[in-house]
């Protein structure tokens, strides 16, 4: 549902859904084992984010996976700002972008080439994206350096592509399981991310740590897409199914929310950078319309009013 704030009190922000999933991200760890991870369940937030644009089910599912993955990766970092995942390739999907702030505000969009129809029988991520690159960026504002890791697109699925990044750029062993699908309750998206970390004092020898990691991988491999996307299965119950005999500790959950950050004020600032003639060319019947790529809300600016404001 749209925000309950009346329009006359909320002119600056787009009338987008006001949705918060209180336990959208649940971190966990295994005591005495070199294993930690995060379980992401977007719940109804996935439907709100994924239905802002009309895309094919294959394209929508890939964006849902990207949103869940980005939320899970952002939660592993200590930062103030935004963390994003971007994929650009020469396939039918030319751009895939998901963005999450340090407070868990999510947004994303996907750009598909309308002249290149997608065959549902060949809808894995590698076919949709083609050859290109995957970039992970942490942006903490104009006064700080951006951290960015870029790797070529390798692997059939988005989970495999992210694993390539971790192995090559971070030297970190991971297990990533992503799922997104339309269910009777609407679109749902989820991510299960598990990492191999330095062994703690409960493991005496490297071979013990390796065995513990292999055991965790085997257990995580039993997780199904249906379990990941089941609203009735709480995160705690799901993790207990997997690791109840492995010293499971479930840490404090984090909220995720609808996080498009567009506003009339921001777009007005963009328009101020254009020359008067360019603004005249952009106007149709005296009105300039700018549409946010994330939330698909159009902001209307009267050309005459802008001319008066700019003197």
Check which CATH number belongs to the domain holding 104 and give it: 3.55.30.10
Residue 3 maps to a domain: no
Mean pLDDT for the stretch of residues 178-193: 97
Q: Based on the domain organization, do 231 and 276 belong to the same domain?
A: no
191-230 pLDDT, tens digit per residue, is 999 999 876 555 546 678 899 999 999 999 999 999 999 9
Q: Based on the domain organization, do 86 and 116 belong to the same domain?
A: yes
Residue 39 maps to a domain: yes
Q: Based on the domain organization, do 199 and 295 belong to the same domain?
A: no
Q: Which residue has the higher pLDDT, 130 or 273?
A: 130
Domain count, the chain: 2
End-of-domain residue from the set 216, 240, 258: 258
Q: Based on the domain organization, do 105 and 72 belong to the same domain?
A: yes
End-of-domain residue from the set 239, 258, 277: 258
Q: Based on the domain organization, do 89 and 192 belong to the same domain?
A: yes
Q: In terms of C-beta density within 10 A (0-12 exposed, 13-18 middle, 19 or more buried), how is residue 173 classed?
A: middle
Q: Based on the domain organization, do 144 and 188 belong to the same domain?
A: yes
Whether 69 shows a pLDDT value over 70: the answer reads yes
**What pTM was estimated for this model as a whole?**
0.86
Q: Based on the domain organization, do 37 and 106 belong to the same domain?
A: yes
| 261 pLDDT tier (thresholds 50, 70, 90) | confident
Residue 1 maps to a domain: no
SS (H, E, C) the chain: CECCCCHHHCCCECCCECCEEEEEEEEEEECCCCEEEEEEECCHHHHHHHCCCCCCHHHHHHHHHHHHHHHHHHCCCCCCCEEEEEEEECCCEEEEEEEEECCCEEEEEEEECCCCCCCHHHCCHHHHHCCEEEEEEEECCCCCCCEEEEEECCCCCHHHHHHHHHHHHHCCCEEEEEEEEEECCEEEEEEEEEEECCCCCCCCCHHHHHHHHHHHHHHHCCCCHHHHCCCCCCHHHHHHHHHCCCCEEECCCEEEEECCCCEHHHHHHHHCCCCHHHHHHHCECCEEEEECCCCCCEEEEEHHHHHHHCC
Check which CATH number belongs to the domain holding 292 and give it: 3.90.1280.10
Residue 155 maps to a domain: yes
Domain that holds residue 298: 264-309
Confidence at residue 202, expressed as pLDDT on a 0 to 100 scale: 53
Q: Based on the domain organization, do 173 and 294 belong to the same domain?
A: no
Residue 2 maps to a domain: no
Q: Based on the domain organization, do 186 and 141 belong to the same domain?
A: yes
Q: Based on the domain organization, do 121 and 183 belong to the same domain?
A: yes
Q: Based on the domain organization, do 231 and 274 belong to the same domain?
A: no
C-alpha span between 83 and 202 (Å, rounded):
33
129-175 pLDDT, tens digit per residue, is 999 999 999 887 666 777 888 999 999 999 999 988 888 877 789 99
Residue 166 maps to a domain: yes
End-of-domain residue from the set 258, 279, 297: 258
Confidence at residue 80, expressed as pLDDT on a 0 to 100 scale: 83
Confidence at residue 65, expressed as pLDDT on a 0 to 100 scale: 98
Q: Based on the domain organization, do 74 and 196 belong to the same domain?
A: yes
Residue 7 maps to a domain: no
Choose among 94, 182, 84: nearest CA to 132. Answer: 94
Residue 296 maps to a domain: yes
């Amino acid at each position: 549902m749209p925000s309950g704030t009346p329009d006359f009190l909320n002119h600056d922000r787009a009338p987008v859904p006001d949705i918060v999933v209180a336990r959208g991200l649940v971190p966990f760890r295994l005591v005495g084992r070199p294993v930690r991870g995060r379980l992401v369940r977007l719940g109804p937030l996935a439907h709100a984010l994924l239905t802002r644009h009309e895309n094919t089910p294959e394209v929508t599912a890939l964006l849902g996976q990207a949103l869940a993955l980005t939320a899970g990766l952002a939660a592993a970092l200590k930062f103030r700002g935004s963390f994003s995942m971007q994929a650009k390739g020469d396939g039918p999907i030319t751009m895939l972008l998901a963005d999450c702030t340090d407070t868990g505000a999510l947004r994303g969009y996907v750009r598909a080439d309308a002249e290149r129809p997608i065959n549902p029988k060949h809808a894995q991520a590698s076919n949709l994206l083609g050859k290109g690159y995957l970039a992970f960026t942490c942006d903490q504002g104009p006064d700080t350096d951006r951290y960015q890791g870029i790797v070529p697109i390798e692997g059939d699925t988005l989970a495999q592509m992210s694993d390539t990044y971790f192995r090559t750029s971070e030297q970190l062993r991971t297990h990533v399981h992503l799922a997104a699908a339309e269910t009777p309750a609407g679109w749902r998206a989820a991510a299960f991310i598990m990492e191999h970390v330095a062994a703690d004092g409960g493991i005496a020898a490297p071979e013990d740590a390796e065995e513990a990691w292999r055991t965790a991988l085997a257990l995580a491999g039993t997780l199904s897409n249906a379990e990941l996307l089941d609203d009735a299965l709480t995160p705690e119950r799901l993790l207990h199914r997997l690791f109840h005999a492995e010293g499971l500790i479930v840490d404090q959950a984090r909220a995720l929310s609808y996080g498009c950050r567009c506003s009339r004020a921001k777009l007005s600032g963009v328009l101020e950078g254009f020359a008067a003639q360019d603004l005249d060319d952009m106007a149709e019947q005296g009105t300039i319309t700018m549409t946010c790529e994330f939330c698909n809300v159009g902001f209307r600016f009267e050309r005459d009013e802008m001319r008066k404001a700019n003197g």
